[in-house]
Structure 1
Amino acid sequence: INYYNISSLVNICNLYDLKKEYSKSIEILKKLPSEDLRKKSPELYAKVVSNLAYSKMKDGDFRNVKSMFLESLKIADSIGNESEILYRKLRLGEYFL
């Protein structure tokens, strides 16, 4: 797993999201989560899952979005990364709006 490539792809997808090109973001992000990534870099895995859920939500596809946000939040909480916890809660809050 090349973590730098995955991080770069996440950043590219963030730009697609800013341009409201959610389908492009989804196509990239849906290929990234894997059990190997979850085990070796849970924080990066959580970021990928959260970003994928966000892009899906903004694109109008709410299937599995809540569970994806909750999984990402649980991982961020287990790591104890306060800024990532806040970020995940903001996204989850937007989902409930």
Structure 2
Amino acid sequence: MDRVGVEHRSVIISFNLAEENVREIPLPLASIDRRDYIVGAFRDCLCLTHGGADGGMHNEFWIMKEYGVRESWTKIRSPIPYSVLQHSGFWKKSHDLLVFRD
């Protein structure tokens, strides 16, 4: 049960092993109401994917181009008609391999 006056917000929690410190990474402004993102890496950038409640037809794919800067989140494509989107490696150096599971 929520308490009156308690702020709830969604963030990514980052832990730096070398410096042993915790940092909050903000989510894209357009997606504050979402709570079921999958966090990953894409082309050396932090990325998020989100599957919709209707079988994945409202997926979003976001890339944070400048680490830690909320305004650098960029939506790459929407909708993606698959329930799970996962970066799985590289193909022919400049092509990313994304795996879709229906």
- TM superposition score category, shorter chain reference: under 0.3
The structure carrying a bigger helix percent of its residues is 1
- So what's the TM-score if we normalise by structure 2? 0.22
Structure number, greater radius of gyration: 2
The structure carrying a bigger strand percent of its residues is 2
Q: Name the structure, 1 or 2, with higher relative contact order (CA <8 Å, separation 6+).
A: 1
- So what's the TM-score if we normalise by structure 1? 0.23
